Amino acid sequence: MNRMEMHFDARIENEAFARTVAASFIAPLNPTMDELIEVKTIISEAVANAIIHGYNGQSEGQVYLRLETLDHELHIEVEDYGVGIQDINQACQPLYTTRQDLERSGMGMTIMDSLSDQMQIESIPEQGTKLVISKRFKHGSDSQA
């Protein structure tokens, strides 16, 4: 097992940083190019949602990223202490967005769910949201065991 945790300001430019860190962290698992792209997309969507929706684009908050590898599986947690989600079922509907003003597509939750093996959303209005995601690697090798 290998773990890492970091937190960073809720600034949209940190989304690329989080994506790069995640890609580097899973490199020892020898992911396929498709698996690498899928993980980077999951991280990108989760972090962008925390920044844009969780903190309404205000950079005062912190986004927490936790990654853990075990065997051929990656566990991802992305957490914010922002506004939370009022209705999780509604937020998971394709094309639903709380930020039409930013021309958001409303597909982030759907994309993350389709690219992961398991996705859970924990949210309390006015307290924050935590995404817990699992992704299995089919062809990689775990040199960290």
Catalytic pick from 19, 49, 99, 126? Answer: 49
Q: Give Dmax over CA atoms of the chain in angstroms.
A: 46
Active site residue 77: no
Say how far apart CA 128 and CA 50 lie, in whole Å.
9
User: How many structural domains does the chain have?
Assistant: 1
Catalytic pick from 14, 45, 99, 126? Answer: 45
Q: What is the pLDDT of residue 141?
A: 47
The answer on pLDDT for 94 being more than 90 is no
Say how far apart CA 43 and CA 57 lie, in whole Å.
17
Residue 141 inside a domain? The answer is no
Residue 144 inside a domain? The answer is no
Helices then strands, each counted (H, E), the chain: 4, 5
> Where does the pLDDT of residue 145 fall: very low under 50, low under 70, confident under 90, or very high at 90 and above?
very low
Domain membership of residue 78 as a residue range: 2-136
pLDDT in tens, 50-76: 999 899 878 789 999 999 999 899 999
Active site residue 68: no
Catalytic pick from 14, 104, 126, 136? Answer: 104
Q: DSSP letter at 41?
A: H
Say how far apart CA 2 and CA 45 lie, in whole Å.
23
How many residues can be counted in the chain?
A: 145
pTM beyond 0.75: the answer is yes
pLDDT in tens, 7-42: 999 999 999 999 999 999 999 999 999 999 999 999
Say how far apart CA 54 and CA 17 lie, in whole Å.
18
Residue 28 inside a domain? The answer is yes
| CATH code of the domain containing 112 | 3.30.565.10
Active site residue 122: no
Q: What is the pLDDT of residue 109?
A: 87
Q: What is the pLDDT of residue 70?
A: 93
Residue 80 inside a domain? The answer is yes
- The whole-number average pLDDT for the span 126-136 is 97
The answer on pLDDT for 107 being more than 80 is no
b/e per residue, 40-63, with b = 16+ CB within 10 A? Answer: bbbbbbbbbbbbbbbbeeeeebeb
